[in-house]
């Protein structure tokens, strides 16, 4: 619902001439529940700044807005207000799939139209959307003859955090990109960070900085410029200015989720709300589901992607996985290494990959048909080695082939060293660069929109970061974009014991992750062990959200652990509701989710190296109903550091909404629970 706009104009001519240092408030607005407020000001030089208060207290101290341009004078200074307007919006929309079915979008919008009188009247608008749980703002560039093309070298947007804070961050632009271990440090000691960047302020308030709707623009990194101040840093382009746009355009939203605690950050739908609604129409062909894959054996070095004596993607081996999937109610079978090109040094080139020609020992049409006959679908695989130029040449033929065979989803991969992706530059020539650049960002959106034409869904590995575009393109099912379970196979080092408790409040604020959970054997290549108990592997299905979830272990390992495997068979991947019940970044988290297809609830809890006992009030259950709780918990001696990591106890209890369970988590452990209403 849109309320009529009410507006106030302050004619620029009425504004008093200010000394350079003085600040004049030119616009302000508060969130619907008056939790957050935004103030916009100019100084005597006409430089713009905004600030954010929470419950009257500064959260973001006055912080700069503006741009440096390559083709014109900077958009910084000389600004005066043309117009401002505040409106309120409150609606609820339905997700085709997600952490919750219905999402409320309730905000006040503050539009601030600005003019640079000393630059021939150039105009920009800054639009703030102020929610009770966060703020997003973006710049709108109108079509104007003074600036027919905008060439942005720097975005001067700053975020001055008003208190000392602890940051959980990963460095941007470095190897291995989004797959760095998440670091913890005082804010004042961080460098150039990727987003989401999560902070806990000294008074306990939590903030996550990120961006929403990253389309045809360079990715925003955040550079610590001094003390508590972060500045937007646009990923560089190999073709010149970071961003080049013709005519009217808007930037992505710069977002701040702000909450009393870590749990509140994850409960916020700000990033999704700031994205455009679904542009694909009917997306009933997008299928949340579980899958197995010819995959873990390559990471264990017991199979190869390329042809040869250990080739894993053979017809016979794939049939084994199809049969296993069919027997266990899994919809998908991923097959990696099915196509020609793996024998090359593909991580440093990717030019030799064919996306249409299978190896001779892989019967693609026969297997696609066999899978279908069993109610299963093959999941395609396109490893590109980040040779986007070569991939885009084959993309249409490759998508068409899959669609013809009834393969309706693809895992794509962009393995490379950060900064060395090969894509088409602005001059139409192949350029090596960072795929966080405007050109790189364009490719990822193109891959998804082209796939939609063939009703194909995409799971991107080594992706550009998620900015909530799944709302607009619901076939962008999931992605990697952080250290997944594969690091436990390689073991150099494996994922740290607090990894999941960090992920939920950092990377997962951006969207779903193909974490590839469920390795019950807890062992990587050459006997390397995981920093996890078996119960935690189960809890990860609830804690780390993805609409498609892999049962990543080998079928023979699942056969060894039937009691634990039952949870993996049962757990759904699409939810009617989600509640974060407790959590501290990097320490522990408990999440309850309600199945979209039944009345069941599922709970997952994970902890770091410290064992814990967490109370779990069941007041999210329907009152007056009795539920059967199937509990998968760490055994009393379980410990991720010893062979007792396998100690898993399964037990059943009858509970109601009035009960409180006590969750005992072993060091490095977890707990998973299914709650089913009794008849």
Return phi, psi of residue 343, to 5°. Answer: -75, -10
Taking the least distance from each CB to ligand NOJ, the nearer of 434 and 461 is: 461
Ranges of H-type helices in 16-103 = none
SS3 217: coil
- Distance, in Å, from the CA atom of 428 to the CA atom of 209, rounded to the nearest integer, reads 34
Instruction: Give yes or no for a contact between 65 and 27, defined as CB atoms under 8 angstroms apart.
Output: no
Closer by beta carbon to ligand NOJ, 336 or else 630: 336
The answer to whether residue 486 is catalytic is: yes
Residue 288: CB minimum distance to ligand NOJ, A: 19
Where on the chain is the footprint of ligand NOJ (CB under 6 A)? 295, 336, 383, 413, 415, 461, 480, 484, 486
- Please identify, using beta-carbon distances, which residue of 260 and 392 lies nearer to ligand NOJ: 392
Collapse the DSSP code of 504 into the 3-class scheme (helix H, G, I; strand E, B; otherwise coil) and give the result: coil
**Based on CB atoms, which residue is closest to ligand NOJ, 115 or 486?**
486
Angle at 291 between CA 288 and CA 294, to 5 degrees: 150
Angle at 220 between CA 579 and CA 239, to 5 degrees: 145
CB closer to ligand NOJ, 386 vs 661: 386
Alpha-carbon gap, residue 100 to 447, rounded angstroms? 26
The answer to whether residues 438 and 242 touch, using CB atoms and an 8 Å cutoff, is yes
Comparison of 484 and 512: residue with beta carbon closer to ligand NOJ: 484
Backbone angles phi and psi of 410, in degrees to 5? -135, 135
Compute the least distance from the CB of residue 441 to ligand NOJ, in Å: 20
Tokens of 378: 């093959």
> Any idea which residue has 């040094």 for tokens?
345
Spatial separation of the C-alpha atoms in residues 612 and 617, rounded to whole Å: 16
Q: Kindly state the smallest distance separating residue 395's Cβ from ligand NOJ, in Å.
A: 17
> What minimum distance in Å lies between the beta carbon of 295 and ligand NOJ?
6
Tokens of 394: 């084959």
Q: Which is nearer to ligand NOJ, 176 or 186 (CB)?
A: 176
Catalytic position from the list 115, 155, 439, 486: 486
Phi, psi of 385 (to 5 degrees): 60, 20
**Nearest by Cα to 201 from 227, 162, 235:** 162
Report the alpha-carbon distance of residue 101 to residue 342 in Å, rounded: 41
Q: What is the nearest approach in angstroms of ligand NOJ to the Cβ of residue 131?
A: 34
**Cα separation values, 561 from 205, 540, 567, 666, Å:** 42, 17, 11, 19
Given the complex with ligand NOJ, which of 313 and 621 has the nearer CB atom? 313
Q: Give CA–CA dist 232/98, Å, rounded.
A: 30
- CA 374, 379, 385: angle at the middle one, nearest 5? 160
The pair of three-digit structure tokens given for residue 645, joined into one six-digit string: 């990591």
Where residue 320 falls (left for φ over 0; alpha for ψ -120 to 50; beta otherwise) is alpha
CA 419, CA 239: separation in Å to the nearest integer?
Answer: 13
Closest approach of Cβ 509 to ligand NOJ, in Å? 21
Which residue is associated with the tokens 């916020």? 268
User: CA–CA distance from 59 to each of 109, 186, 258 (Å)?
Assistant: 19, 17, 9
Q: What is the DSSP string of 645-660?
A: GG-EEEEEEEE-TT-E
**Minimum gap (Å) between residue 319 Cβ and ligand NOJ:** 20
Closest to ligand NOJ by CB, 166 or 306: 306
H helix or E strand, kind and range, residue 326: helix 315-327
Active site residues: 486
């Amino acid at each position: 619902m849109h309320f009529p706009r009410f507006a106030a104009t302050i004619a620029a001519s009425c504004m008093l001439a200010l000394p350079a240092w003085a600040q004049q408030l030119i616009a302000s607005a508060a969130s619907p529940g008056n939790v957050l407020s935004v103030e916009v000001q100019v100084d005597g030089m006409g430089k713009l700044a905004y600030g954010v208060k929470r419950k009257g207290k500064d959260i973001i101290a006055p912080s700069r807005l503006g741009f440096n341009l390559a083709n014109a004078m900077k958009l910084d200074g000389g600004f005066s207000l043309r117009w401002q307007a505040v409106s309120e919006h409150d609606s609820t929309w339905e997700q085709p799939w997600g952490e919750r079915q219905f999402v409320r979008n309730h905000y006040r919008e503050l539009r601030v139209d600005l003019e640079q009188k000393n630059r021939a009247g150039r105009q920009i608008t800054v639009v703030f959307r102020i929610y009770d749980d966060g703020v997003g703002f973006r710049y709108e560039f109108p079509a104007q003859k003074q600036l027919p093309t905008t060439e942005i070298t720097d975005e001067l947007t700053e975020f001055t955090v008003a208190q000392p804070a602890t940051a959980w961050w990963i460095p941007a632009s470095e190897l291995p990109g989004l797959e760095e271990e998440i670091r913890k440090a005082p804010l004042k000691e961080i460098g150039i960070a990727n987003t989401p960047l999560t902070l806990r302020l000294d008074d306990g308030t939590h903030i996550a900085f990120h961006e929403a709707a990253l389309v045809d623009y360079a990715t925003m990194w955040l550079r610590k410029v001094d003390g508590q101040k972060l500045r937007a840093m646009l990923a560089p382009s190999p073709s010149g200015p970071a961003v080049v746009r013709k005519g009217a355009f808007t930037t992505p939203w710069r977002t701040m989720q702000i909450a009393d605690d870590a749990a509140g950050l994850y409960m916020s739908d700000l990033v999704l709300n700031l994205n455009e609604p679904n542009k694909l129409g009917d997306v009933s062909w997008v299928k949340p589901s579980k899958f197995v894959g010819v995959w873990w054996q390559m990471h264990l070095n017991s199979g190869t992607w390329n042809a040869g004596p250990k080739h894993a993607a053979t017809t016979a081996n794939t049939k084994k996985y199809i049969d296993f999937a069919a027997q266990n109610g899994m919809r998908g079978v991923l097959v990696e290494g099915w196509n020609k090109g793996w024998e090359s040094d593909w991580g440093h080139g990717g030019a030799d990959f064919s996306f249409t020609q299978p190896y001779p020992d892989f019967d693609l049409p026969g297997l696609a048909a066999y899978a279908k006959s069993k109610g299963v679908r093959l999941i395609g695989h396109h490893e590109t080695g980040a040779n986007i130029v070569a991939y885009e040449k084959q993309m249409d033929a490759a998508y068409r082939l899959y669609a013809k065979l009834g393969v309706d989803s693809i895992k794509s991969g962009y393995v490379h060293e950060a900064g060395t992706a090969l894509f088409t530059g602005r001059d139409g020539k192949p350029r090596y660069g960072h795929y966080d650049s405007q050109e790189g960002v364009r490719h990822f959106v193109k891959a998804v929109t082209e796939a939609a034409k063939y009703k194909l869904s995409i799971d991107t590995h080594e992706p550009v970061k998620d900015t909530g575009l799944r709302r607009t393109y619901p076939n962008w099912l999931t992605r990697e974009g952080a250290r997944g379970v594969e690091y436990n196979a390689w073991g150099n080092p494996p994922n740290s014991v607090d990894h999941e408790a960090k992920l939920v409040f950092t990377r997962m604020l951006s969207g779903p992750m193909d974490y590839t959970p469920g390795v019950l054997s807890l062992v990587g290549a050459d006997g390397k062990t995981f920093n996890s108990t078996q119960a935690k592997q189960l809890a990860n299905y609830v804690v780390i959200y993805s609409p498609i979830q892999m049962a990543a272990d080998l079928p023979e390992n699942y056969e060894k652990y039937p009691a634990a495997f039952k949870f993996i068979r049962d757990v759904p991947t699409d939810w009617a509701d989600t509640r974060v019940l407790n959590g501290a970044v990097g320490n522990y988290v408990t999440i309850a989710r309600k199945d979209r297809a039944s009345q069941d609830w599922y709970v997952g809890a994970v902890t770091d190296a410290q064992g814990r006992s967490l109370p779990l009030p069941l007041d999210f259950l329907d009152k007056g109903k009795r539920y059967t709780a199937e509990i998968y918990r760490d055994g009393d001696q379980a410990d991720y550091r010893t062979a007792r990591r396998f100690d898993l106890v399964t037990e059943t209890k009858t509970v109601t909404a009035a009960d409180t369970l006590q969750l005992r988590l072993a060091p490095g452990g977890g707990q998973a629970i299914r709650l089913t209403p009794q008849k």
